[in-house]
Structure 1
Amino acid sequence: GVEELVKAGLAVEDAKGFEKGLRDAIARTVGSDPKELWRELTARRLLRPSHPHAVHQLVYYAVYANYDASTNGPPLYWFPSLYQSKYTNLGRLMETHGSKLLGASYKDPVTSFSLFQKFSAEHPEVYWSIVLKELSILFHEVPKCILDTSDTSKHGGTWLPGSVLNISECCLLSTSYPRKQDDGLAVVWRDEGCDDSQVNHMTLKELREQVMLVANAMDAIFSKGDAIAIDMPMTVTAVIIYLAIVLAGFVVVSIADSFSANEIATRLRVSKAKAIFTQDFIVRGGRKFPLYSRVVEAAPNKAIVLPGTGKDVDIQLRKQDLSWNNFLSSVNHLPGPNYFSPVQQPIDSMTNILFSSGTTGDPKAIPWTQLSP
């Protein structure tokens, strides 16, 4: 009622108008399906971004008060229009393949969603073959099947058994379908502390060449399968390093740049990392916060150190460590430093080691493979 809306942050007159709109929406809704009522509320734009979040919560939970999530799934919040749905990844896929897969039963991404979902579950070989092509997944040895459920001891079965690929290579190659061209946009970013500067752009070709340069530099130092940590902010260079580690057949160890020296040390020890990419400083709000010093305190692992600002690091490094510039210059003698032959590995090869929070002891390693997100 009005009183609850006022408590949630609306002015009295606004609350009265809102309640009237709510009653009108209820009157327009056929039956008592809470999903249809919520759809009506969103269609009428009764709730607006300017309303306090508490108002959104109040109405949402009131509408779905008697909704059985165990039977019907999570209560829906957003209902895309037909126009919006056609521009989602799934909507585009359905528009391209829906009629071919479902025949005359296919109407549009909204009307035919449940039917298409049912088809995907009943025909995984057909559906996932389409999705893998849509994702530009390139196999160097194709899988024996999409999903092997013959071994009942493996919960959920085995996906893409027998396949060999490099998932980083799949990100970097241009393809005719879907349209992923060398001169197409791959990364958009703005450097920390440069909020008023222009946005930076990198094409797919530029990204691939940068990744392969870093992969060559790593390949000259480390052995295939080595774990290599990244402890730095999510910059465009961090993305390049991540892709290069996987491209060259190594394993990423993900470490948050907010961690203390002890937390860094534990993760380096558990993962048996051979080296770590980091920055001299982290720049936040115009201030510089030390990061390399925490890595030094954590462990003697070789560190490749990037500058937080400028073109070179602003601190003295240990003898075993390398500045980013010296690391890259180590492959200048190669005839093609911007080309690297990707290391092809089985689908279940590790690509990344993440960690649990470690609140009850040492953090537990969580391995990701080429099948992981």
Structure 2
Amino acid sequence: MSTKPIWKPSKKIIESSNIYKMMQATNFENYEDFWKWSVTNKEDFWEKTIQNLNIQLAEKYTSILDTSKGVENAQWLKNAKLNIVDSCFQNEEEATALIYQKEDKSIEKITQKELLNLVNKIANGLIETGLKCGDKIAIDMPMTLEAVAIYLAGIKAGMPVVTIADSFTPNEIEVRLKITKPKLIFTQDFIKRGEKELPLFKKIKEANAPKAIVIKKSEATSDLRNGDVYWNAFLSAKTEFKTIIQDPSAIITILFSSGTTGEPKAIPWTHTTPIKGASDGYYHQDIHKNDVVCWPTNLGWMMGPWLVFASLINKATIALYYETPTNEGFGKFVQDAKVTMLGVIPSFVKYWKNSKCMEQFNWNSIKCFSSTGEVSNPIEMEYLMKLANKKPVIEYCGGTEIGGGYVTSTVVQPNIASTFSTQALGGEFVLLNEEHKESKKGELFIIPPIMGLSNSLLNRNHFDVYYKGTPKYKGNILRRHGDQLEQLENGYFKMQGRVDDAMNLGGIKVSSVQIEAVVNSLDFVKESAAVAVSPKSGGPSELIVYYVENPSKFNIEQRFKQAKENIKNQLNPLFKLTDLVKIDILPRTASNKVMRRKLRELYESK
């Protein structure tokens, strides 16, 4: 691949960046030296970052970091008291907090004051419904004004918010509800997609969800269960609500991430996790006051909460488009909303490039793009840059259990398509080969502590998942993550996919085991193994399933169709099967574990 920069920052861009301001304040001229300082002096870096973000503390910390219980149990902002939602409302009251466009409607705006009033009405509604601090609530709906307000209201009221993606099947929703046991769920009756109305509340009922608050989007009637209420009946008239102040370690959100077993990991976020996401937005995506940040996502994926906190804490505007981001309407919205930072997953860009649907719009207000969720393709990323008159793409990779990124790019370094220019500020990792020796290409291990790293899981042993059996590095305990990277000769990084049994499909992390369980239920399958394979030209992973045959009357096309439909209906419509391959026997280790890496290599050698 080419390591030639296709964008270089001008002196003006560098000197107006948040990174440059911080470098000036800490007396650094060179970015690499500044990054090194951010990880060798973590307490200083994070203290200054908290000041830069103006994080609102009801009581100040006695120490910014305490590792007396080990770096794997780091305590941030020890003895402080806060509620992170208070840091989301620091702009002027009349500043635009959200700009959004509903289906078939024109653009609307809501001020910070109006958003705060709505948040307070919801928080009061929760109390009036009989909930109390510590009770969990759930959200399963698209990324809308109401979703953002519900999310902030739950946290403000001290009620951890369980976030579930609206694309999930009833089975996947039920799994997540059983793990977390929320008292209440917020949803919509339908999701509009063009002329179609996709039932959402119906899925919630099939998932045996608790009492539902239903936002009406359709003229069609919904059969509410006993106890369910419509949104308007739930909403309180009171626009004042006293924020519940908590310890920094109090849980604010529970998100889900696939591990290498069937059940998803339930990952709690605390009041300190959003500081990591907001700091990445401040430094790496270079979000400034009154910028307009658009990233099509959902609260069920970490980029949903990231978008809320990285925008609002940095006093920027969240831009939400209610329909699909692949149509021309989205391009016009980006133009008319004057989006300054546009986040993508590579699959969107591939569609835009093939259809040329975005070329008619003026995207010059964009200062930078950011890409995450999948491995990107250099040709497509160069195309994306041209859509906004050659603006850089901040490649960004992290995880739900990190609260942000571990490797990324900046606007103060040359931009090379589909590569990361730096480890994220305030965090450090090392690449190790299979012998656990430091290498330019290998498995990534995070060097804790970093603000935002999870300390607990609801349904697993956190230490066993992330630390047990990891190698030591220079006397330090390492934290596993599962990604494989290569460091190029110029110091930049290139993503090499996963080393474990997880994969990214359509910007969503899913385990091989989850897919195999669905495929194994088919009559013609004795056993199967799912792998993610990188296309030869680069770009998003493709889903390949190998299977050992049970005798069957179905032909190859029928088998492929059945497997594809099963994955779509039982897991997620975004998981698209690329190939179904018959094999006589699955390769296994001596301990009988399927060697998925061998299958990946077998497919890539075809």
- Choose which of 338, 344, 347 in structure 1 pairs with 2:245: 344
Structure number with higher strand proportion = 2
Q: Does 1:206 align with 2:114?
A: yes
3, 15, 26: which is aligned to 1:101?
26
Q: 1:343 to 1:307 in 2, by over 3 A?
A: same
The within-5 A match list for 1:100-249 is 100-102=25-27, 106=28, 111-151=29-69, 153-155=70-72, 157-172=74-89, 174=90, 180-194=91-105, 197=106, 199-221=107-129, 222-249=131-158
Q: Normalising to structure 2: TM-score of the pair? A: 0.43
Describe the SS at the equivalent of 1:244: helix
Q: Which residue is 2:415 aligned to? A: none
Q: How far apart are residue 351 of structure 1 and its match?
A: 0.8
Change (3 A) 1:121 1:262: closer
Could you say which residue in structure 1 is the equivalent of 2:264?
A: 363
Q: Is the 8 A contact 1:186 1:202 kept in 2?
A: yes
Instruction: Give yes or no for the alignment of 1:252 onto 2:170.
Output: no
SS at match of 1:201: strand
**Distance in 2 between residues matched to 1:134 and 1:309, nearest whole Å:** 44
Distance 1:235 1:358 in 2: 28
Q: Which residue of 1 aligns with 2:519?
A: none
SS at match of 2:234: helix
1:280 to 169, 189, 195: 189
> Is the contact between residue 228 and residue 250 of structure 1 (CA under 8 Å) also seen in structure 2?
yes
Q: CA deviation at 1:154?
A: 2.9
Q: 1:79 to 1:217 in 2, by over 3 A?
A: same
Following the alignment from structure 1 to structure 2, what is the Cα–Cα distance between the partners of residues 364 and 123?
Answer: 32
Question: SS state of the match for residue 155, structure 1?
Answer: helix
Q: Please tell me the residue identity of whatever aligns with 1:182.
A: E
Q: Is contact 1:193-1:283 (8 Å) kept?
A: no
Q: CA deviation at 1:229?
A: 0.7
CA RMSD of aligned residues (A): 2.3
SS in 2 for 1:188: strand
Structure-2 separation of matches of 1:79 and 1:258: 38
Instruction: Give the match's secondary structure for 1:339.
Output: coil
- For 1:117 and 1:62, how far apart are their aligned partners in 2? 25
Residues 1:139 and 1:77: Cα distance change in structure 2 (over 3 Å):
farther
Match of 2:230 among 300, 319, 323: 323
Task: Give the distance between the partners of 2:35 and 2:258, measured in 1 at CA.
Answer: 35
Aligned partners of 1:282, 1:359: CA distance in 2, in Å? 31
User: 1: distance between equivalents of 2:266 and 2:93?
Assistant: 36
Deviation at 1:122, TM superposition (A): 4.4
**Alpha-carbon deviations, 1:198-219, whole Å to 9, x = none?**
x211111111111111101012
What's 2:375 paired with?
Answer: none
Local SS of the residue matching 2:213:
strand
Question: 2:267 aligns to what SS in structure 1?
Answer: strand
Q: Distance in 1 between matches of 2:175 and 2:37?
A: 46
**Deviation at residue 355 of structure 1 after TM alignment:** 1.3
- Alignment partners' CA distance in 2, 1:291 and 1:218: 22
> 1:255: how far off?
0.6
C-alpha spacing 1:63/1:125, structure 2 compared with 1 (3 Å):
closer
For structure 1, the residue ranges without an aligned partner over 5 or more in a row are: 1-60, 65-75, 175-179
Task: Give the Cα separation in 1 of the matches to 2:249 and 2:126.
Answer: 22
Per-residue displacement from partner, 1:251-276 (whole Å, max 9, x unpaired)? 11111111111111111110011111
2:331 is aligned to: none
Change (3 A) 1:77 1:254: farther
- Structure 2 CA distance for aligned equivalents of residues 93 and 338 of structure 1: 38
CA-CA distance at 1:62 after TM superposition: 4.2
Q: Deviations over 1:79-122 (max 9, x none)?
A: 4332223333323444xxx1x532xxx5xxxx432333344344
Given that 1:193 and 1:284 are in contact with CA atoms closer than 8 Å, whether structure 2 keeps it comes out as no
- Determine if contact 2:177/2:209 at 8 Å carries over to the other structure: no
Per the alignment, residue 170 of structure 2 pairs with: 261
Q: Which amino acid aligns with 2:245?
A: Q
Deviation at 1:186, TM superposition (A): 1.1
The 2-side partners of 1:281 and 1:213 are apart by: 23
Distance 1:78 1:158 in 2: 40
Contact 1:254 1:354 in 2 (8 A): yes
Q: Which residues of structure 2 form unaligned runs of 5+? A: 275-606
Note closer, same or farther for the CA distance 1:84–1:286 as it changes in structure 2 (3 Å cut).
Answer: farther
Deviation at 1:170, TM superposition (A): 1.4
Q: 1:300 to 1:127 in 2, by over 3 A?
A: closer
Asked if the contact 2:189/2:217 (under 8 Å) is kept, the reply is yes
Calculate the TM-score normalised by the size of structure 1: 0.68
How many residue pairs were aligned?
Answer: 273
- Residue identity matched to 2:201: Y
Q: 1:367 to 1:156 in 2, by over 3 A?
A: closer
Q: Note the C-alpha offset of 1:235.
A: 0.6
For residues 16-64 of structure 1, what are the alpha-carbon distances to aligned partners after superposition, in whole Å with 9 as ceiling and x for unaligned?
xxxxxxxxxxxxxxxxxxxxxxxxxxxxxxxxxxxxxxxxxxxxx1448
Larger radius of gyration: 1
| Preserved CA contact (<8 Å) 1:124 1:146 | no
**Alpha carbons of structure 1 residues 118 and 292: separation in structure 2 relative to 1, 3 Å:** same
> Would you tell me which structure has more helix in proportion to its own residues?
1
* 1:83 maps onto 2:12 in alignment: yes
Shift of 1:279: 0.2
